[in-house]
Amino acid sequence: MMGCESDRILLEYVRKASPPPFLLKTYMLVEDPATDGVISWNADGTAFVVWQAAEFASDLLPTLFKHSNFSSFVRQLNTYGFRKVATNRWEFSNDKFRKGERDKLCEIRRRKSSSSSNKPQPDVQVQAAKLGQIEEDDQKSSSSTSSSSELATLIHDNKRLKQENGFLSSELAVMKKRCKGLVDLAAIYGGDLDREDQRGVDDELEVEETCSEGPKLFGVRLELEVEAGNSK
C-alpha cells in the first residue's frame, strides 16, 4: 500500500511540475520575438494578443499544433480558463499566464468537461465561429479565383495558338504557290533550251552536208580541177 501511495504522489508531482503541452507551445509562440507581428504580449505582459488571426491560423498553428483552425485554438484556451479581455481584438488573459513567469504554467489546470465553466464565452465562441467561416470563405474565394485565372489563361493560350496556326497556314500556302511558279518557269525555260540545242545540231549537219557536196549550179554539182604549178 505504501508503495502504491508513493507512486501516486510521485506521478502527481511530475504532472504538476510539467505544464500542459498546449500551454507550453502557446507560451513559446507568444515569447518568440520573430512572431511579434502576428502574436505577442500586450503592453504590460498580463495577456497576449493575436494581431493577425488569419496569418496565425495559416502559418503558425500548423507548426506546433498540427492544424490551422483558429476556432479550435480559442476553444482550447477556454478549457484552460483564458478570458477574452478586449472586444476589438483577440486578446486573452489568464492569471497564471504572464510574461516572464513561465514557471506558473504548471499551476494552470484544464477544466473538467462536466463543469459548466468549461463552456466558452458566448461572444468568443461566436466570433471564433465567424472567423472560421471567413477563413473557409477566403479559401473558397481563393480557389475560385485561381480556377478563373487558370481558365482565362487557357482561353488566351488557345486563341494565341489558333492565330499562330492560321499564320502558319497562310505562309505555307504562299510557299506552295511560289514553288509551283518556280517549277512552271523551270519547265518553260528547259523546253526553250532543248529547242535551241536541237536547232544548233540541225544547222551543223546542214553545213557539213554542204561542204561535202561541193558547189552546185542550178542544182548540179560542179567538179573542179585544180591545177597546181601551171599558173604564171
For residue 215, is it within any domain?
Answer: no
For residue 101, is it within any domain?
Answer: yes
**Residue 2 CA neighbour count, 13 Å, CB half:** 0
Mean pLDDT of 79-87: 93
CB atoms near residue 57 (< 10 Å): 23
The whole-number pLDDT of residue 178 equals 82
Q: 26-35, 122-131, 149-158: which range is least confident on average?
A: 122-131
Which of 138, 148, 126, 143 lies closest to 58, judged by CA?
138
- 196 vs 44, more confident: 44
For residue 143, is it within any domain?
Answer: no
Burial class (CB in 10 A: 0-12, 13-18, 19+), 54: middle
Model confidence at 228, pLDDT cuts 50, 70, 90, reads very low
Mean pLDDT of 183-189: 77
Alpha helices in the chain (DSSP H): 2-17, 21-31, 53-55, 61-65, 70-79, 122-213
Model confidence at 193, pLDDT cuts 50, 70, 90, reads low
For residue 181, is it within any domain?
Answer: no
Burial class (CB in 10 A: 0-12, 13-18, 19+), 92: buried
pLDDT at 232 over 50: no
Model confidence at 192, pLDDT cuts 50, 70, 90, reads low
Distance CA 177, CA 163 (A): 21
Distance CA 83, CA 91 (A): 8
For residue 71, is it within any domain?
Answer: yes
For residue 38, is it within any domain?
Answer: yes
The pTM assigned to this predicted structure is: 0.46
- 215 vs 152, more confident: 152
For residue 58, is it within any domain?
Answer: yes
What share of the chain has pLDDT > 70, as a percent? 59
Residue 40, domain CATH: 1.10.10.10
The whole-number pLDDT of residue 189 equals 72
pLDDT at 105 over 90: yes
Distance CA 27, CA 31 (A): 6
For residue 192, is it within any domain?
Answer: no
Its domain, for residue 115, covers: 9-120
The position carrying cell 485565372 is: 149
Model confidence at 4, pLDDT cuts 50, 70, 90, reads low
Mean pLDDT of 33-38: 95
Mean pLDDT of 204-217: 57
The model's pLDDT over 128-179, given as tens digits with 9 standing for 90+, comes to: 666 666 666 666 666 666 667 778 788 877 878 787 777 777 778 888 888 8
| Torsion sign (Cα): 137, 139, 142, 143 | negative
**Total of domains in the chain:** 1
- 179 vs 88, more confident: 88
